[in-house]
Amino acid sequence: MGPLIVIVVLVLLVLITLLAGVKSVPQGYEWTQERFGKYQRSLKPGLNLIIPYIDKIGRRVNMMEQVLDVPSQEVITQDNALITVDGVVFYQVLDSAKASYEVRHLEQATLNLTMTNIRTVMGGMTLDDLLSNRDSINARLLAVVDEATEPWGVKVTRIEVKDIKPPADLVASMGRQMKAEREKRANILDAEGFRQAAILKAEGEKQAEILSAEGRRQAAFLNAEAREREAAAEAEATRMVSEAIASGNAQAINYFIAQRYVDALKDIATAPNQKTLILPIEATSILGSLQGIAEVAKEAFGGTKR
């Protein structure tokens, strides 16, 4: 019975030794191997063999990208405004040995480093710059923190400022300032609209005056030309009557007088205030005048045929 117990104990010892020498590392992690307390190597994901009782697992390091919340803290800006800021940090361990043995409490160290640089960067800017240049702040924080964590085997991939909260009284003042600025812009736009409307109206009136003057000038030119032609025709008629009288043709005088007579009757008849027309003349005089016109026409047409 004694030898059997010894065999069982030996088998169990062998099994425990084999299990102690085989390590299965999950995906996304690296384990550090230590021999008598000194770092030997990093175990990659999968099955790994170590020497039992001599080697042991030191640190289990998460190699995936991780998120670290930055708690709210108060920051005094360059223009002495007290604001409350929080953020978030994304980082990834690239070297498990450095992350395990170059720094103690990696997450706490990264968090404190980020908070310190937030106060440094934002404390050198005015409140207006903080509210309008958040991308620039994120880029500056990323460059500083990533360089500082490089000896720890850590790569900071992104730093984002989540919220910037000014004091309540400052927010109210900013609201009043924004409202006043918007009202100012609205008044400027209204004034500019009125100005443009006045300019366009004046320009339209100017063009209308120019076109009206041009029309009057053209009408005056046409009236003058008409009067000139009428005077020329009148002069020509007078000349022909004078020549006829000089040649002894009495009918020309009758034609001239009858034409004037008929024109005068037409003006009297077409007057707007004329309702009744009284002719203090004899009908035989009118017929005689018309007969004279007919004689002149016959002579004219007859002369043309010859």
Determine, yes or no, domain membership for 296.
Answer: no
Pair (190, 141) in one structural domain: no
Pair (139, 151) in one structural domain: yes
Distance, CA of 3 to CA of 16 (rounded, Å) = 20
Question: Quick one: how far is CA 209 from the chain centroid?
Answer: 39
Determine, yes or no, domain membership for 11.
Answer: no
Pair (158, 173) in one structural domain: no
- Locate 59 and state its tokens: 């640190």
Pair (233, 204) in one structural domain: yes
Distance, CA of 237 to CA of 247 (rounded, Å) = 15
Determine, yes or no, domain membership for 211.
Answer: yes
Determine, yes or no, domain membership for 154.
Answer: yes
Determine, yes or no, domain membership for 15.
Answer: no
Structure-model confidence comparison of residues 146 and 288, the more confident one: 146
**pLDDT bucket at 168, cuts 50 / 70 / 90:** confident
**pLDDT bucket at 172, cuts 50 / 70 / 90:** confident
- Please say whether the beta carbons of 82 and 74 come within 8 A: yes
Q: How many domains is the chain built from? A: 3
Pair (121, 158) in one structural domain: yes
Kindly tell me if the per-residue pLDDT of 256 is higher than 80: no
Over residues 51-93, the pLDDT tens digits come to 888 999 999 999 999 999 999 999 998 888 889 999 999 999 9
| CA-wise closest residue to 48 among 30, 28, 63 | 30
Burial of residue 150 (CB within 10 Å: 0-12, 13-18, 19+) is middle
Determine, yes or no, domain membership for 74.
Answer: yes
Pair (117, 157) in one structural domain: yes
The predicted pLDDT at position 283 comes to 44
Pair (78, 161) in one structural domain: yes
Residue 146: which domain range? 65-166
Please state, for a pLDDT cut of 90, what percent of the chain lies above it.
35
**pLDDT bucket at 305, cuts 50 / 70 / 90:** very low
Distance, CA of 92 to CA of 156 (rounded, Å) = 6
Residue 249 backbone phi and psi in degrees, to 5: -95, 105
Using a cut of 0.75, tell me whether the model's pTM lies above it. no
The predicted pLDDT at position 258 comes to 67
Kindly tell me if the per-residue pLDDT of 146 is higher than 90: yes
- What CATH number is associated with residue 107? 3.30.479.30
Q: Which of 128, 149, 166 is the last residue of a domain?
A: 166
Over residues 116-127, the pLDDT tens digits come to 999 999 988 888
Pair (73, 118) in one structural domain: yes
- Locate 23 and state its tokens: 């390590």
Pair (197, 210) in one structural domain: yes
Kindly tell me if the per-residue pLDDT of 284 is higher than 50: no
Query: How many H-runs (helices) and E-runs (strands) does the chain carry?
Result: 8, 8
Determine, yes or no, domain membership for 291.
Answer: no
Determine, yes or no, domain membership for 188.
Answer: yes
Pair (110, 186) in one structural domain: no
